[in-house]
């Protein structure tokens, strides 16, 4: 994996530094639509809708892109299952020569209250299998991530069943608003940088 680390350390041409890889994590298949674990897909779908673009089926992922204020946002939903998400992230990061700091992974988080947002420039997988695979494929945990709280005292629940269940009625009344705020946070990440995005959206 040393060659991968070396590639990410290389100087990237100025034009490439304006590219951002935005990755929504989830599971493919209709049975997973609108489940808590697929919030990454839902957020990135909203971003595609907001920017009036379409998905294409490409290698290892559904792919789309848009440009805004001199930045290019490359959007993917890995077509592998959650536990193998890193393969698509690695492929597209290398193909587009995107540095680690310009990769944003969007995922669910059991440890945050429902709808809370947490942007971080790096961190541990915290038990999330999708993030574990991304870390293994990139050979580092130093990549930004946006966590969306699906919060619950899951110690009293079947954790796997909980994350794979659909939103309850209370959550359904709030989910669209929270997802829209996430799209704003993602665009802020690309346009203003991770620090400004954290200041504006963490805990919002």
Pairing of the two strands 56-58 and 61-68: antiparallel
Rounded distance between C-alpha atoms, residue 36 and residue 147, angstroms: 12
H/E/C letters for each residue in 47-63?
Answer: HHHHCCCCCEEECCEEE
37 is annotated as an active-site residue: yes
By C-alpha distance, which of 141, 147, 144 is closest to 118? Answer: 147
Selecting among 37, 62, 111, 128, the annotated active-site residue is 37
Q: Which two tokens stand for residue 193?
A: 């940088």
Specify the DSSP class assigned to residue 166.
B
Q: Where are the beta strands (DSSP E) in the chain?
A: 19-24, 56-58, 61-68, 71-78, 103-109, 117-120, 145-149
Cα–Cα distance list, 143 to 29, 96, 164, 170 (Å): 27, 16, 26, 33
Cβ atoms of 14 and 152 closer than 8 Å: no
Q: Which residues contact 80 (CB under 8 A, 6 or more apart)?
A: 28, 60, 87, 88
Catalytic residue set:
37
């Amino acid at each position: 994996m040393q060659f991968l680390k070396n590639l990410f350390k290389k100087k990237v041409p100025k034009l490439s530094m304006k590219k951002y890889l935005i990755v929504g994590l989830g599971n493919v298949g209709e049975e997973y639509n609108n489940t808590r674990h697929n919030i990454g897909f839902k957020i990135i779908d909203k971003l595609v809708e907001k920017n009036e673009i379409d998905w294409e089926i490409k290698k290892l992922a559904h792919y789309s892109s848009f440009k805004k204020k001199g930045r290019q946002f490359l959007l993917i939903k890995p077509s592998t299952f959650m536990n193998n998400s890193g393969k698509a992230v690695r492929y597209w990061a290398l193909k587009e020569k995107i540095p680690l700091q310009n990769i944003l992974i969007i995922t669910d988080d059991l440890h945050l209250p429902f709808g809370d947002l947490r942007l971080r420039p790096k961190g541990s997988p915290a038990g999330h299998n999708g993030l574990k695979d991304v870390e293994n494929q990139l050979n580092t945990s130093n990549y930004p991530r946006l966590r969306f709280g699906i919060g619950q005292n899951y110690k009293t629940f079947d954790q796997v069943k909980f994350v794979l269940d659909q939103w309850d009625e209370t959550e359904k009344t709030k989910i669209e608003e929270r997802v829209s705020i996430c799209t704003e946070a993602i665009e802020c990440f690309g346009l203003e940088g991770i620090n400004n995005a954290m200041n504006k959206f963490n805990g919002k």
